[in-house]
Structure 1
Amino acid sequence: MSNAAQGRRPVTPGSTALITGSGALLGLALFCPVSVQAQTVPPEGAEAVLSELSVTGTGERAGGPVVGYRATRSATATRTDTALRDTPQSIQVVPREVMIDQQNVRLTDALTNVSNVQPGGTIQGRSDTYILRGFRTQTYAIDGLVLNPANAFQPTQRDLANVERIEVLKGPASVLYGQGDPGGLINIVTRQPTLTPSADLTVQGGSFGFRRVQGSVSGAIPSVEGLAARFSFGTQNEATFRDFGGPENSRHFFAPAFVWTPDASTRVYLNAEFTRQHSQYDEGLIAFGGRVPLDNISRFYGEPWSRYYGESNSITLLAEHDVNENLTLRQAINGQWGSFNLLATRATGVNAAGTTVTRRLTEGDSIYHSIDSRTEALGRFVDPFGFRHTALAGFEIVDGFRHPFTTQGTATSVSFLNPIRGSVPQIGTLTLQSDLR
C-alpha cells in the first residue's frame, strides 16, 4: 500500500505546485483566481425568514369566463364540470370574447360560429328559431334549464347583454334534458356576479338608425358577508330600411343576478331576466310568378298602426351544498311568464294579373307561464382499481302552460307594386285555441 503524499508549499494564482511523496505523485494546476467568502451562521434557535413567493394563474371552470376564444370545459353535456376533451358528445362553445369582438347583438349572430345550426323561420322574424342537424327547435336553455316547452316560439328575441358563453350540444345526446329536440340543444350560460368590482359599457351605432347601449356592473355588497351582485342591461332602437310609416323597433332588457356564499360549502344563486320588445308587424316582400320584385326593398304591405309587442320574464333560484368532498346536493327552481300581442294586416294572396294584394286583419294575443323544479345529487368516488368516477342522479318536474287566441277580419286590398296605406281596422271573428301544456 502506498504511503500518503506529503509536502507543503505556498500556492499563488497561475502557479503550479508539485507535491512528492513516497509512491505518489500529485499535480495541481490553478489557472483562475479563487474567491472564498465565509457564510454567516444564524444564531442557534433563530428562525429563518424567507422572501415572499406569489404564484398566480388563470383557470377555467364550466359556466365561467373563457380565456381567449377556445373553451376547455363545459357542463352542458353531462351537467358536471367536465373537460371538453373528456366529453364524448359533440359540443361547440361561443365565448363572450368572440361575441364582443364580432359586435353580436342577436343570438342568431353568435350562432353563425357554430356548424350545423341555421336560422329557422318565424312570422316576421320576431323570435329565435333554429334548425339543428336538420331538426327544428323553437326553444333553448338558460343555465341548463329549458324554456317553457308549451311555447311554439319565444315572444322576444334573446339579448346578449348578460351572456357569458353559448354552448351547443349537437345530436340526440340532448335527451339528457328530457324535453329537447333530437337535433340538439342551445344552452345560454349567463354572467355571474364577482366580489371584485368590475364594470363595462358598450355603445353601438349602425345603418338605418340602429343604436344600442349595453352594460354591466358587478361587485360585493358590503352589508352581507359573501354576497355579490351583477346588474346587466341592454337597450336598442332601429328604424330599419322598411317603409313602415309607424314607430321604430325597440328592445329593452334588464338582468339582475346575485350569488351568496355563506360558507365554503354552500352557494346560492338568484338570476332574473326581463325583456320588452316593440316592433312593427312586417312579413316582408311577396313573391309572384316565382320571383320577388327587388326594385324597392322598402315596400311594405301593412299599415302604420300594425304592431307587435312581446314580453318575457324569468327568475331562477339555485342552491348547492357540499355535504362532504364526495357528495354535492343541488336544487333549482325556475319560473317563467310572458305574453305577446299583435295587430296587423297580413297578405293572403296576389290576383292572377299580379297587380293587387289581398289582405286580412289579424289580432292575436297569447299568455304563458311555467315552473320548473330540478333536484340533483352529484357523487364522486374511486373504484377498487383506482379509477375516479363522477355520478349524477336527480329528477325534474316541469309544468308549462300557454293560452292563445286570435281575431280576424277583412282589410282592403293594395297595389302589388305601389301599396298605399289607409285601411281602417275592423273587428272580425274570434278564434280560440285550447290551452296548451
Structure 2
Amino acid sequence: MLQIYSISQNRLDVLKIRFSFFFKTDFLAKTKFFFITFFFVSQTLCAQTAAVNVIVSDESGGVLAGASVRLRGTSIAGQTGSGGLFQINSIGKGDYVLLISYLGFVPAERELKINGAGNEELKITLREQSLGLPQVDITGSSAISYQSEYVSAGSRMDVSAHQLPVSVQVVSRQLLEDQQVTRLNEALRNVSGVTSRTDGFNLYDIFVARGFSLTNSRNYFRNGIRFPKFGLPPVGNMERVEFLKGPASVLYGAVEPGGVVNIVTKPALSVARYGAMIRVGSYGFYQAQTDFTGPVNKSGSLRYRLNAQYEDAGSFRDQVKSNALHIAPVLTYDISSKATITLEGEFYKNRQTFDPGVVAVGDRPADVSRSLFLSEPFAYGKYKDTNFGYTFQHRFNSNWQVRSSLRRHDLHENRLYTELKSLAKDNVTLGRRIADWDSDMKFTFVNAEVAGKIKTGFITQTLLAGAERSWYDNKRFVKGVDYTSTNMLTPVYKQRLDENLVMTASTDLTEDLRIAALYAQDQISFFDRIHLLAGFRMDWLNSDNFNNITSKPTVLKDRAFTPRVGLVVQPIEAISLYGSYSQSFVPESGSTFDGALFKPIESDQLEAGIKTQLFGNRLSASAALYRLSRNNMPTPDPDHTGFQIQIGQQQSKGIEIDIAGEPIRGLRTIASYAYTDARVSEINDTRYPVDTRLANVPYHTASFWATYTIQSAALKGFGFGGGYFYVDKRLGDLANTFALPGYKRFEASLFYQHKAYRIALNGKNLLNEKYYEGANSRFLIRPGTPRTINLALSVIL
C-alpha cells in the first residue's frame, strides 16, 4: 500500500540547516551527519507503521499452529507458528481485511484497522466445521446456531439488526440443514406470521405475510437484487434466507406490503472445499448436490464456487412426478485490497406433472383421498431460468464504499394444464378446461449505491443513496378449450392429448415495463443508544401493453413517492425499543368510467416492538405489534356496470414473536408465534362486505424447533431434535364460502456429524395428519404432504 507522510514546517527548517551544514564541513563530519540524518528519517517513517500479532485458537482455547493467514490485497501471507501466532512486523496506516483458514474449521474474515504506530494484538477464534454452519465467519456475523446479528434486507447498510426499527427474521444455513429443507416454503414456516398458499397448481408457491400475498415478480430478491421467483427455487446454494416484514418500497420499489424475501447465496471462498450430498426419501424422492469452492491463484485473490443440484421425485399424489436441474457458478476477484467484483451465473429448469389439487364441497374441502389426482398424466408445467450478473464493491476506507450490481434473467414458462371449472349437483362430477400457456420473459436490473458513515462527537450518521433501473418484457400466449369432465370417485386418465382437439386463443399479450428510481436513507445515532432512521424513494413507471387479440394498447405512466421513518431506543445495549411508519405501492392499470387512470395501490404501516439478547447474546428475541392498511383497491362502480372505482381498503393487524439462538453450547432453537386479523375495512362490493376476513390468513400460527448435539467426547457429534408447526383454521376465498381446517405437524431428526461428514434422518408430519396448505378458490385447493422420511448423507473435504 502506498503511504504518504507529512513533515511539519519546523522539521523542514531543521533539515534545511543540516543540509546547509553538510556542504560546509569535512568528509568525516558529513559522514556522521549522514548516519544521524538517516536514523532521524527512518525513525520518522517507522513511527507511521505498526506491528500486529495475530493469535488463532479454537473454541476451547487451544492454539492452532499452521493456520493460514492472509492480508487481502497485499503480499502479506503465511502460517501461524507453534503458539498459534502470526506476526505482521510492519504495516502502514489503513483499513485491511484478514483472511484466516484452517482445515476442519470455518474460515474467518476480520477487519483490521491501523490508525498509527505501536503494537496491536488480534485474537481470532475459529469454530470447528460441520455441515450446516455458515460457509465463512464474517465480522459481525455469528457462526453459532440459528441467529444472525447483521441482516442486509433490513437497511442495505452495515447496521446491526438491533438498531433497526423493523422486524427482520433469518433462516440460517444451519437451520436449513437441521430440518432437511428442500423447498422455500419449508424454510419460511419458521418465520412468524408467514404461511404458504397454492396458486392453484403445484408449479410454484405463493406466500402470505401479515395478511397479504407476496407477488412472484415483485417481492423476492437475491443478494439484494430483484429476483423473479417463478418455479420452485432450489435451496442448495442458499446461505440463508432473510424476511423483512411489512411495506418495503423505500429500498425495494414496487412490492406488496406483506414483506420482502431476500435469499443470500453462498460466497466463493479462499480456502479449498469440496462437498457432496445425497438425499433419498419417501415417494421416490432423490436429490444429489455438489458444492466446490476454493482459490484459483496462489494468493487467493481469484476464487470460484460451483453449486449443482439434480432432483428426481414422485409424489403422494397419483400420477405426479417431477425432475429439476440447477447449476450456479460464482467467480470473485479482489481487484485490490479495497475493491472486489463477483460474477455470478445460474441455470435452472424443472418439469413436473401438472396438478390442480382438489375442490370444495359445501363449506369444506371434498372428503376424498389426498392422493386423488384430477388432471391428466400428460399435463405438465415446464420452467427454465438462465441468468447472470455482477456485483462490484469498492471501499474507500472503513467508512465509505460504493456498490454496483447488474442481473439479467431470461425465463421461459410452458404449461399444458387442466382447470377444474364446475361441480355438478351430484357433487362428484367435475367440469374441466384444458389450456396451453406459453410465456417468454426477460428481466434486467441494474443499480448503483453509495454508503458511508459520518461521526461528529456523540452523533453518528449512516447514509445510503442509490439509483435503480429495470426493464421487464413478457410475451404471453394462452389458448384453451372445454375438456371432458371427470368423476372424483372413479377418475379415468388418458395417456396423451387428443391431436384433433382445437384450442382457441384467450390471451395474446405483450408487456413492456420500465422503472427508474432514486432513493436515500439516513440513520442518525445519538450516544450509540438512540437511532433515528429516515428514508424516501421516488419511482417513475412506464408500462406499455398490447393485446394482440383486440389490437388494443394500454399505456400507463405513473410515479410514486414512498417514505419510511423509525426510532430505536436502547436503554441498555441488550434491549431495543422501536417504532416505525412505512409505505409501499404497486402500480394498478385501468381507468374509471370517466377515463381517470387508477392510482397505485398504496399501503402504510405503523409498527412498534422490542428486541433483546439473552444468554450472553447467544439468544435473540423480538416482539412486534403492527397495523397495516392496503388502500386504493379497485371495487365495482355502482353507477356504471362493468367499470371500477378505487375506494376499497383492506387492513391487517397483529402481533408477532420470534426467538432464535443457541442458549447453551450444542442446543440450537428457534420459535415463533403470530396472531393476525386481516379483514376488508372499506369496499363498495356487496359480495365482500366490511369485516369480511381475507382468504388464507389464519388467526394463529406457531412453530418450535430445537436440536441438541452431544458435546462429550464419547458421543460427540451425535444429535437429535424435533419440532412443532401449527396453523389455525383459514377461510378459503374472499367470499368466505368455505374453510380449511387448522392443522399441526410434528417432526423429528436424528443425526451424527463429524468434521468431514454428516448423516441425518428426518421424519416430517409424523402423526400423518391430513391437512391443506392453502387455496386459491373453491376449485384450487392444495393437499398437504403426509408422513415422509428423508435420509441425507453429506461429505465435505
Query: Could you state the TM-score of these two structures normalised by the residue count of structure 2?
Result: 0.46
- Describe the SS at the equivalent of 2:236: coil
What amino acid does structure 2 have at the position aligned with 1:67? I
For 1:195, which of 270, 284, 289 is the aligned residue?
270
In the alignment, what sits opposite 1:397? 469
More off after superposition, 293-302 vs 103-112: 293-302
Q: In structure 2, do the counterparts of structure 1 residues 143 and 103 end up closer, same or farther at CA, with 3 Å as the change threshold?
A: same
- Taking the aligned partners of 1:354 and 1:115, their CA distance within structure 2 comes to 37
Residues paired across the two proteins, number: 380
Quick check: 1:65–1:164 contact (8 Å CA) kept in 2?
no
2:316 paired with 1:234: no
Post-superposition offset of 1:388: 2.9
Post-superposition offset of 1:409: 1.4
In the alignment, what sits opposite 2:124? 56
What are the equivalent positions in structure 2 for 1:338-417 lying under 5 Å apart? 338-383=411-456, 385-417=457-489
- Taking the aligned partners of 1:51 and 1:305, their CA distance within structure 2 comes to 66
Quick check: 2:438–2:478 contact (8 Å CA) kept in 1?
yes
Post-superposition offset of 1:348: 1.5
Which digits, 9 at most, give the CA deviation of each residue in 1:346-391, with x for residues without a partner? 22212112342222221111111111110111122222x2433221
In the alignment, what sits opposite 1:27? none
- Taking the aligned partners of 2:139 and 2:150, their CA distance within structure 1 comes to 5
What amino acid does structure 1 have at the position aligned with 2:498? V
What are the equivalent positions in structure 2 for 1:40-189 lying under 5 Å apart? 54=85, 55-58=123-126, 61=138, 66-139=143-216, 140-148=220-228, 154-173=229-248, 175-189=250-264
Quick check: 1:116–1:132 contact (8 Å CA) kept in 2?
yes
- Taking the aligned partners of 2:403 and 2:421, their CA distance within structure 1 comes to 52
Unaligned runs of 5+ in 2: 1-80, 86-122, 127-135, 514-797
More off after superposition, 197-206 vs 158-167: 197-206
- Describe the SS at the equivalent of 1:120: strand
- Taking the aligned partners of 2:139 and 2:382, their CA distance within structure 1 comes to 35
- Describe the SS at the equivalent of 1:354: coil
For 1:334, which of 400, 407, 410 is the aligned residue?
407
User: Which runs of at least 4 in structure 1 moved beyond 6 Å after TM superposition?
Assistant: 62-65
What amino acid does structure 1 have at the position aligned with 2:411? G
Q: Which protein, 1 or 2, shows the higher relative CO under an 8 Å CA cutoff with sep ≥ 6?
A: 2
- Taking the aligned partners of 2:257 and 2:491, their CA distance within structure 1 comes to 43
- Taking the aligned partners of 2:140 and 2:503, their CA distance within structure 1 comes to 50
Post-superposition offset of 1:427: 2.3
Quick check: 2:215–2:256 contact (8 Å CA) kept in 1?
no
RMSD across aligned positions (CA): 2.3
Quick check: 1:65–1:96 contact (8 Å CA) kept in 2?
no
More off after superposition, 308-317 vs 188-197: 308-317
Identity, % of aligned positions: 26
For 1:424, which of 498, 502, 523 is the aligned residue?
498
- Describe the SS at the equivalent of 2:359: coil
Q: In structure 2, do the counterparts of structure 1 residues 253 and 278 end up closer, same or farther at CA, with 3 Å as the change threshold?
A: same
Post-superposition offset of 1:122: 1.1
For 2:358, which of 282, 285, 290 is the aligned residue?
285
In the alignment, what sits opposite 2:774? none
Q: In structure 2, do the counterparts of structure 1 residues 77 and 174 end up closer, same or farther at CA, with 3 Å as the change threshold?
A: farther
- Describe the SS at the equivalent of 1:342: strand
What are the equivalent positions in structure 2 for 1:218-229 lying under 5 Å apart? 218-222=293-297, 226-229=301-304
Quick check: 1:89–1:173 contact (8 Å CA) kept in 2?
no
- Taking the aligned partners of 1:297 and 1:181, their CA distance within structure 2 comes to 32
Q: In structure 2, do the counterparts of structure 1 residues 325 and 350 end up closer, same or farther at CA, with 3 Å as the change threshold?
A: closer
Q: In structure 2, do the counterparts of structure 1 residues 388 and 137 end up closer, same or farther at CA, with 3 Å as the change threshold?
A: same
More off after superposition, 418-427 vs 406-415: 418-427
Which digits, 9 at most, give the CA deviation of each residue in 1:197-230, with x for residues without a partner? 1122221111111111123111011278611001
Post-superposition offset of 1:295: 4.3
- Taking the aligned partners of 1:65 and 1:322, their CA distance within structure 2 comes to 23
Which digits, 9 at most, give the CA deviation of each residue in 1:403-436, with x for residues without a partner? 2110111322222310112362512101224323
What amino acid does structure 1 have at the position aligned with 2:227? L
Q: In structure 2, do the counterparts of structure 1 residues 186 and 309 end up closer, same or farther at CA, with 3 Å as the change threshold?
A: same
- Describe the SS at the equivalent of 2:250: helix
Unaligned runs of 5+ in 1: 1-49, 149-153
Post-superposition offset of 1:173: 4.0
- Taking the aligned partners of 1:51 and 1:233, their CA distance within structure 2 comes to 39
Q: In structure 2, do the counterparts of structure 1 residues 205 and 52 end up closer, same or farther at CA, with 3 Å as the change threshold?
A: closer
- Describe the SS at the equivalent of 2:176: helix
- Taking the aligned partners of 1:78 and 1:124, their CA distance within structure 2 comes to 34
- Describe the SS at the equivalent of 2:328: strand
Which digits, 9 at most, give the CA deviation of each residue in 1:57-104, with x for residues without a partner? 259548977432211111211111222222221111111001001100
More off after superposition, 225-234 vs 421-430: 421-430
Quick check: 2:215–2:255 contact (8 Å CA) kept in 1?
no
Post-superposition offset of 1:320: 1.0
Which digits, 9 at most, give the CA deviation of each residue in 1:267-300, with x for residues without a partner? 0011222211100011112333344444433222
- Describe the SS at the equivalent of 1:57: strand
What amino acid does structure 2 have at the position aligned with 1:68? S
In the alignment, what sits opposite 1:253? 326
Quick check: 2:140–2:149 contact (8 Å CA) kept in 1?
no
Q: Which has the larger radius of gyration?
A: 1
What are the equivalent positions in structure 2 for 1:279-318 lying under 5 Å apart? 279-318=352-391
Quick check: 1:193–1:230 contact (8 Å CA) kept in 2?
yes
What amino acid does structure 2 have at the position aligned with 1:147? F
Which digits, 9 at most, give the CA deviation of each residue in 1:2-29, with x for residues without a partner? xxxxxxxxxxxxxxxxxxxxxxxxxxxx
What amino acid does structure 1 have at the position aligned with 2:200? I
Post-superposition offset of 1:250: 1.2
- Taking the aligned partners of 2:139 and 2:388, their CA distance within structure 1 comes to 21
What amino acid does structure 2 have at the position aligned with 1:120? R
What amino acid does structure 2 have at the position aligned with 1:276? K
- Taking the aligned partners of 2:425 and 2:244, their CA distance within structure 1 comes to 47
- Describe the SS at the equivalent of 1:98: helix
Quick check: 2:202–2:354 contact (8 Å CA) kept in 1?
no
Query: Could you state the TM-score of these two structures normalised by the residue count of structure 1?
Result: 0.81
Q: In structure 2, do the counterparts of structure 1 residues 335 and 252 end up closer, same or farther at CA, with 3 Å as the change threshold?
A: same
- Describe the SS at the equivalent of 1:263: coil
What amino acid does structure 1 have at the position aligned with 2:226? V
- Taking the aligned partners of 2:140 and 2:434, their CA distance within structure 1 comes to 46
Post-superposition offset of 1:137: 0.8
Quick check: 1:64–1:191 contact (8 Å CA) kept in 2?
no
Which digits, 9 at most, give the CA deviation of each residue in 1:157-185, with x for residues without a partner? 01110000111111124532112222211
Quick check: 1:372–1:399 contact (8 Å CA) kept in 2?
yes
In the alignment, what sits opposite 2:597? none
- Taking the aligned partners of 1:188 and 1:62, their CA distance within structure 2 comes to 20
- Describe the SS at the equivalent of 1:195: coil
